[in-house]
Structure 1
Amino acid sequence: MKPVFVVGGASLDTIVHVDAFPGAYAQTVWPNRSYRAVGSTGVGKALNLRALEVPVVLHAVVGNDQEGRMIRQTLEQAGVEALISETPEPTEQHVNLMTPAGERLSIFVQPPAREVTLEWSSIRRTLRGCGIAVINILDYTRPILEEAVSLGVPIWTDLHDYDGSNDHHQAFIDAADVVFLASDNLPNYRQVMERLLQQGKRLVVCTHGAAGATLANAEGEWLEQPAYPVDRIEDSNGAGDAFFSGFLYGYLRGLPERDCLQLAAASGALCVTSSGLASEHASRSALQDIVSAK
C-alpha cells in the first residue's frame, strides 16, 4: 500500500473542561480539569491512520520551542514519519474549552506561522510516492496543493466548518477529488453537497456530530450513517479526524462506501472516549468490534 501524505496541521493545545461555556461577562471560571496535548487536524489524521496500520507521512510546521519538541516527540513515539518545516515563529497553540456534551470553543492563542520555508525535494518525492494526498486548509499548504495537482496526485481535503461560500476554501475545493465537511454552519448541507458533486467531486461526506454523517457520490447515491453511541465522552477533540481516518482506512482496503462509513463512525466513537486525538485503543480490530456489535 502506498503511503497517505497528510499535509498541514500541528499545534500544542491546552484543553480545559468546563460544565458550560462561560457567558460574555467578567467572571472567574473553575475548570473540572485541564491538560496540554498535541492537536490540530494533520496530527489527528496521521495518528489515527498510523493506529490503523496505514502507512502515513505528515508534513507539519513547528517552532524551535518546547511546544514544537512535544509535537515531534509525540509523532516519533507513535511511529509517524514526519517532514517538519521549522519556523522561527512560535509553534501554533490553542486553548480549547470543552463541555460534557462534547462541544468545543477553540481560541487561537498562537496563530499558525506566517514564515514557512518548504523543503521541496522531500515534499515532491513524497507526493510522487503517495497514493493519496490529504491537504488541509492552511495557507502554507497552498503551494503543495498546486504541486499535487500538477503531479496528478489524488487529493482529499477536509473543509471542517465550511459555510458554503468562504473563499478561503475554494482552491482546496477546486483541487480535491474527495471532500469532507461538517454541517455546523450548513443548514442547507445537502444543497452544498450536490453543488460539490456538480463541480466534479467523486465523493462528498458531511458529518453532523452526534447526528451521524451523510455521504453522496458521483453515481447519485446517498447514504446515511448514524453515530455509534458511547457510554461517556472523555474529549471530542480529534473526533472528525478520527472519522475521516476510519473512512480512508476502509477506502484503501477497497471496501464499499457503506462499510467505510461504519468504520468511520466506529473510529469517531472510539476517539471521543479518549483524551487524545487518537484513542490508545484504536486498532483495526477495535473498529471491527464496534461495527460488529451494532
Structure 2
Amino acid sequence: MSPEIDVLVLGGAGVDTIVSVPQLPLPFADSYLVPAVETRAGQTGDFISLGLHALGLRVHHIDLVGDDHHGDLVRALHRDRGIPLTTAPMPSGTRRAVNLVGPDGRRMSLYDQTRGGGDGPLPPDTVRSLAKASRHAHVSITYPCGLALPALRREGLTISTDLHNWDGANPYHETFAFDADVVFVSVAALADPERTMRRIVELGRARIVVATAGADGAYLLTGGELTHVAVATPPAPVVDSNGAGDAFAAGFLFGWLAGEPPLRCAAYGAVAGAYACTVPATVVDAIGREALLAAAGDGAAAGDARGER
C-alpha cells in the first residue's frame, strides 16, 4: 500500500514580525520611521510545508505550538492553505522572531530565546503513526525534532534537514547533519564550505549535501563530486530573501522524490529560491509546479514526485 503522505515535516512552526528598515546594518538611532511592521505566521517548517504543497506533494506538518495568539496564526495559515497540521502543546509559547528587512531584500532575524528552550518531545506515538504513513521526513533543527530521528529511521523513512547558518563546528547541529540523507546548509557562516560538506558525507549518512550561497547560487556535493549551481533569474524584482533557502529545499526535494538527477533537483531549487526572493516578507507564497517546470525548462511534465523514490 502506498504511503498517504509524501513528506512529513517536523518542527519549524512559528511567527515572524517583519520590520522594513532603511538599511542593513541599521545605524544606531533613538528611533526610526519605517514603512511597515507586520506580524504573520511562517517560519522554516511552515515555508517548507507550503513550498512542497504548492508543488503538488502531500504534506503533513507536526510541531509544538503554543495556546496563544501566535499559535492561532500558525494554525490559521495551515487551515487556509489546506496543509494538515498536527500540534502538541508548547508551554513556553509559539516560536517567534523579528526580521529586519532592508530595501535590497537582505534580512536579519532576531529569535526569541524564551520560546521552545525546554519544551518537547514531540508526542512519540503520533510521530510513529505519521511516519508509518509517510515516504520522507524533513526535520527542522529544533530539540524536539532531534529526539524524533530514531523513530523516523525505524520506520524506514529517508530524511532531509536544513542546518541553516551552521558554522561547521557547533556540535548541536551534528545530530541532524550526520543522520540525514539530504543535507542543506548555508555558506553564510562556513569558513570552508567544501570541507564542511565533505565532512558531513564522511561522518554521516548523507548521499547529497547542498550549500546555498544566495546570489552566488549553490554548491552540490554528490558521488564525491562538487558542482557549482548557478543562480536562477528571478521572475520579478527581488524584494526580500526571507524563505529563499526553504524554497530552495522544497524545490530540490520535489525533484529528488520524483527520481530526478541531483543537478536537475538543484535547478528546481534555484528556480524556487529565486521566486521566493520576489515575494514580500509580509506575504507567504510559493511557486507552483507548472511555473517551476516552465522556468526550469522542463516543459509541461517531469517525474511524478509521488511514489517514485
What's the TM-score once normalised by structure 1's chain length?
0.92
The alpha carbon displacement at 1:102 in A equals 2.4
**Alignment-mate amino acid for residue 197 of structure 1:** V
Of 57, 60, 63 in structure 2, the residue corresponding to residue 57 of structure 1 is: 60
**Alignment-mate amino acid for residue 102 of structure 2:** T
**Contact 1:47 1:277 (C-alpha < 8 Å) held by counterparts:** no
Q: Which residue of 1 aligns with 2:303?
A: none
Q: Aligned ranges for residues 258-277 of structure 1 at < 5 Å? A: 258-275=263-280
The structure where helix makes up a greater share of residues is 1
Matched, 1:5 2:22: no
The alpha carbon displacement at 1:180 in A equals 0.7
**Alignment-mate amino acid for residue 124 of structure 2:** W
Of 215, 220, 229 in structure 2, the residue corresponding to residue 215 of structure 1 is: 220
Of 226, 232, 237 in structure 1, the residue corresponding to residue 237 of structure 2 is: 232
Matched, 1:99 2:102: yes
**Contact 2:104 2:240 (C-alpha < 8 Å) held by counterparts:** no
Change (3 A) 1:189 1:133: same
Of 251, 254, 272 in structure 2, the residue corresponding to residue 249 of structure 1 is: 254
Q: Distance in 1 between matches of 2:27 and 2:281?
A: 29
Q: Distance in 1 between matches of 2:154 and 2:283?
A: 32
Secondary structure in 1 matching 2:61? strand
Q: Aligned ranges for residues 63-102 of structure 1 at < 5 Å? A: 63-102=66-105
Q: Which residue of 1 aligns with 2:307?
A: none
Q: Which residue of 1 aligns with 2:124?
A: 120
Unaligned runs of 5+ in 2: 299-309
Matched, 1:181 2:177: no
Change (3 A) 1:16 1:278: closer
Moved more, 152-161 or 113-122: 113-122
Secondary structure in 2 matching 1:49? helix
Of 106, 111, 114 in structure 2, the residue corresponding to residue 108 of structure 1 is: 111
Matched, 1:41 2:44: yes
Q: Which residue of 1 aligns with 2:288?
A: 283
The alpha carbon displacement at 1:282 in A equals 1.8
Q: Which residue of 2 aligns with 1:29?
A: 32
The alpha carbon displacement at 1:208 in A equals 0.1
**Contact 2:247 2:286 (C-alpha < 8 Å) held by counterparts:** no
Change (3 A) 1:109 1:284: same
Q: Where in structure 1 do 4 or more consecutive aligned residues deviate above 6 Å?
A: none
Moved more, 52-61 or 20-29: 20-29
**Alignment-mate amino acid for residue 242 of structure 2:** N
Q: Distance in 2 between matches of 1:278 and 1:27?
A: 29
**Alignment-mate amino acid for residue 50 of structure 1:** H
Q: Residues 8-30 of structure 1, C-alpha deviation per residue, up to 9 Å, x if partnerless? A: 01111110111213546342122
**Contact 1:239 1:277 (C-alpha < 8 Å) held by counterparts:** no
Unaligned runs of 5+ in 1: none
User: What is the number of residues matched between the two proteins?
Assistant: 292
**Contact 2:121 2:147 (C-alpha < 8 Å) held by counterparts:** no
